[in-house]
Amino acid sequence: MTTHNGIAGTATPSSTTAQPLLQARGVIKRFGKFVALHGVDLQIYPRTVHSVIGPNGAGKTTLFHTLTGTLMASEGSIVFDGHDVTHEADHQRVQRGIARSFQVTSLFTNLSVRENLRLAAQGVHRSGAFDCWHPPSGARSHADIVDTSMQRMGLTRLAGVAAGALSHGQQRRLEVGMALAARPRAIFLDEPTSGMGVDDLDEMKHLIRGLRDDHTVVLIEHNMNIVMDISDTITVMQQGRVLVEGRPDVIRNDERVRAAYLGNMITGGRA
């Protein structure tokens, strides 16, 4: 929180001078009497990989939900790219350039891989989506974006397969691919590697790092190898609060972080 602003300042790399792309102030989320987020401040700078880590129940996914609009914040403000999006629904924030993937795979399981990606690409163009007359062919098929996303995710040969018939690892890649197909400014990935086999992990790591060239990446991840290797900034959460924020090496050596969460994982680096 505010007490750690000093660390946050030094943490952001080359882009320290840039304006944050996303700025959350005092975000509180209550579910009835339970308070999941106790006033979170977060600044995400463009073209960085910003990871959010913390033990289970720390409020990472809830924070994601409030930032992307899946849930509305109870209090606080969220400014994205100069627009106050605090009260905008998820589908409105997509139009601003926010896209996300889900921790629990959430696809259009009866539809093909290509159709999943086409729908994601079309979602950003809200007026065209109400076209009751033309089938999604030609320019309306968004073939370029769809093909690029499939290629990047290694799904090209599975284009015609129903999403529900893919293996778990393929579904996880399609999850990320759908976020990509929206060509977002900021891409929110909620545990993209969850349940993935060891073989796929490295590939996913390179993929996420590669995203930084064109996007801003916000990442929830449990795999410390990945987090420490590819993050520019890491925010550690505990019990609905920001415990500390900084560069990977700062986080690695922070006593509070070690005590609260990482323990020997940080040196062991186990998946």
Partner 1 sequence: MIRLKSHMQLVLALLVALILPLCMQSGSLATEVLIYALAVLGCNLLLGFTGLLSFGQGIFFGLGSYTVGILLTRFALPMPLALVAAVLVGALAAAFVGWFAIRQRGTYFVMLTLAFAQMFYFLAYSLPDLTGGDNGLLDVPRPPLSVAGAELMSLASPWQFYTFVAVCFLIVFWLLLRITNSVFGRTLLAIRDNEARAAAVGYNVKMFKLAAFAISGAVTALAGAFLAMMTGIAPLSSIEYHTSEMILVMTVIGGTGNLFASVLGAAFYVLFADWLSTLWPRWLMLLGFLLIAVSLFMQKGLWGLGERLWLSTRRTPAVGDTTKEERA
Q: How far is the CB of 63 from partner 1 (least distance, A)?
A: 16
32 touches partner 1 (CB under 8 A): no
3-class SS letters over 37-91: EEEEEEEECCCCEEEEECCCCCCHHHHHHHHHCCCCCCEEEEEECCEECCCCCHH
Distance of alpha carbon 237 from alpha carbon 90, whole angstroms: 23
Q: Is the Cα torsion angle 255, 259, 260, 264 positive or negative in sign? A: positive
Instruction: Name the one range near partner 1 by CB under 8 A: 7-15, 37-45, 125-133, 252-260.
Output: 125-133
Q: Which of 94, 166, 228, 262 binds partner 1 (CB under 8 A)?
A: 94
In the list 106, 151, 167, 253, the residue contacting partner 1 (rule: CB under 8 A) is 106
- Which tokens sit at 113? 């891989």
Tracing tokens 């139009």 back to the chain, one arrives at 95
130, 138, 199, 213: residue in contact with partner 1 (rule CB under 8 A): 130
What's the CA angle centered on 100, arms 2 and 208, to 5 degrees?
Answer: 85
From candidates 34, 132, 213, 264, binder to partner 1 by CB under 8 A: 132
| Residue 28 or 161 having the CB closest to partner 1 | 161
Pick the stretch among 2-10, 96-104, 225-233, 256-264 that binds partner 1 (CB under 8 A).
96-104
Roughly how many angstroms between the first and final C-alpha of the chain, as a whole number?
Answer: 28
Query: Minimum distance from CB of 70 to partner 1 (Å)?
Result: 7
Taking CB under 8 A as the criterion, the residue among 15, 74, 77, 95 binding partner 1 is: 95
Closest distance to partner 1 from the beta carbon of 66 (Å): 14
Query: Which of 30, 83, 87, 126 contacts partner 1 by CB under 8 A?
Result: 126
265 to each of 114, 153, 215, 228, 271, how far by Cα in Å?
39, 29, 29, 11, 9
Nearer to partner 1, 70 or 225 (CB): 70
Q: Which helix (H) or strand (E) holds 181?
A: helix 168-181
Write out the H or E segment, with its range, that includes residue 95.
Answer: helix 90-96
Among residue numbers 163 through 202, which ones bind partner 1 (CB under 8 A)? 178, 182
Alpha-carbon distance of 234 to 248, in angstroms, equals 6
CB of 94 to partner 1, least distance (A): 3
Taking CB under 8 A as the rule, does residue 70 contact partner 1?
Answer: yes
Asked whether position 80 contacts partner 1 by CB under 8 A, the answer is: no
> Please, what's the largest Cα pairwise distance for the chain?
61
Q: How far is the CB of 236 from partner 1 (least distance, A)?
A: 26
Site for partner 1 contains 159 (CB under 8 A): yes
The phi-psi region of residue 184 (left if phi > 0; otherwise alpha if psi is between -120 and 50; otherwise beta) is beta
**Residue ranges binding partner 1 (CB under 8 A):** 68, 70, 89-91, 94-95, 99-100, 102, 106-111, 115, 119-120, 122-124, 126, 128-136, 140, 157-161, 178, 182
